Amino acid sequence: MAVEESLRNKRLYKVFIGILKALPLLFALVAALNTILSFLAIDLIILSYIGSISFLSLLFLYLSSYVFNFCAYHRIFLDYAVINNIINVIDLYVGIPITDLGMLCVQMMILFVVLVIALILYLKKKHGK
């Protein structure tokens, strides 16, 4: 009985770690998708709810990434989601004086930079440098 419980706990731990590693990437994907669809005048409210990160959730994800020794590769997607949310909040409450196309270009440039950094971090991790 103890062996079965130990195996179940190990599986649960692996699933938890897998989900914890995947959440930043999912947040980043939803944020990018929401940005693109918003530009195309397709408003999916569910994406706004899924993609929004509360401060406490963000704190938990960042702390968990350090507690479980995730590499910077996993945190870069969290960073993108945070940057995206900050830009959207500033644009909503203050207003950024650029066109919608300009805003899309800015956010896609940020996404491109984050993806390049993520690729570099991934390759460094993979090749042990």
The model's pTM is 0.80
| Mean pLDDT value across residues 113-129 | 87
| Structure confidence at residue 81 (pLDDT) | 84
Could you read off the pLDDT of 66-111 as tens digits, one per residue? 998 888 888 999 899 889 888 988 988 999 999 989 999 999 999 9
Could you read off the pLDDT of 21-33 as tens digits, one per residue? 899 888 888 888 9
Q: How far apart are CA 92 and CA 101, in angstroms?
A: 16
| Structure confidence at residue 44 (pLDDT) | 80
3-state helix, strand, coil in the chain (%, to 5): 85, 0, 15
* CA 87 to each of CA 28, 32, 97: distance values in angstroms, whole numbers, following the listed order: 14, 13, 12
According to DSSP, residue 112 is labeled H
Please report where in the chains the tokens 């947040």 appear, as a residue.
Answer: 27
Neighbouring CB atoms inside 10 A of 13's CB total 10
Q: How far apart are CA 63 and CA 93, in angstroms?
A: 29
